[in-house]
Structure 1
Amino acid sequence: MSIRATNQADVSPLRPVPAAAPGPGGAPLGEPLWRDLVGDVLRRERKAQGRTLKEMSEASRISLAYLSEVERGRKEASSEVLAAAARALGLTLADVLALAGERLVSLTAARSRIRSRASVADGGRRPVREAAPARPTGPTGPARRPVGALLLAA
C-alpha cells in the first residue's frame, strides 16, 4: 500500500445534504436545525438594534469569532453563552428561545403547506401506510390504555 492510499479517508459532512428540492427562497425543506434558528434570532435582534458584532461581543464577553459562528449556526452554543448573548441584547434567554420556537413553528407550517400543495400536484397520491395493529378488546369493548398526566409548574 502506498503512502497516498493510507492518507485517504472517507469524510462525512457535518450537516446532512438535503435530499428534498429547495423550497421558497432556496431554503432546504429538511428539518431546521435549532442552532440555525437561535443564531438567526440573535443576528436579527442585534441588527434591529443597530449594533455591530464587535459591540455585542464586548457586551456579552463572548469572543467575536465564536459569536459570529453562533449567529451563522456553525456552533451549538451552551445555555450560558446564549444567556450572555441575550443579556447583551437586553433580552432574556427565554425571549431568545421563544423567538426561535416561533420561527420553528412558522417554518414547519410553511413546509407542511408546501408538501400539501405538492400532494395536490401529484394528483393526491400519498404513500400507502400499513394498517395499525388491532387493539385488544375486553369484555366491555376496546381495551383502554392508561392515560398519563402532564404537570406544568408556573
Structure 2
Amino acid sequence: MQNFKNHARYYPLHHFVITPLTLVYLIWSLTNLGEAIRIGEGISMEIYHLIGAIILILLPLLSRIYALKNQDRIIRLEMRQRYFELTGKSFQETEKNLRLSQIIALRFAAIEELLPLMDRAVTEKLSAKEIKQSIQNWQEDKRRV
C-alpha cells in the first residue's frame, strides 16, 4: 500500500545506471582535458569528448524534465476533472490559489478528504509535504514518472 513514507519512486535504469555513468564520463572527460592542457597535446580530441559528455548528461535530464512536465499537465487535468465531479464547478478559481506542488500533493487524497484538504491547503497555505502528511486515505499512483 502506497503512503507518504513510500510514495517516492526511483527508476533504476535512469537513477542508478544512466545518470551515474554520464557523470563518470563527464568527470573523466574533464580530467583528460586538464591533463591534455597540462602536457599541451590532444586538446582538441579531449574537447570533443567533453562536448560529447555534456550532450550525454543533458539527454537523460531533458527526457526526465519532459516526462515530468507532461505528468504535471496530466495531474492538473485529473484534478480539474475530480473537482468538477465532486462540486459541479470549475476548478479554475481554486486552482489560482494553489501552487502546482500543492495540486500534485492533493492528487494523492481520496475523494472523501480531497475537498476539505484542498480548503485547508488554500487557507493555511500548506506545503506539499504537509498536505501529503495530512492524507489519511492515500490514493495510490504507481504509474508516475
State the TM-score, normalized to the length of structure 2: 0.29
Look at both structures and tell me which one has the larger radius of gyration over its CA atoms.
1
Query: When you count helix as a share of all residues, which structure comes out higher?
Result: 2
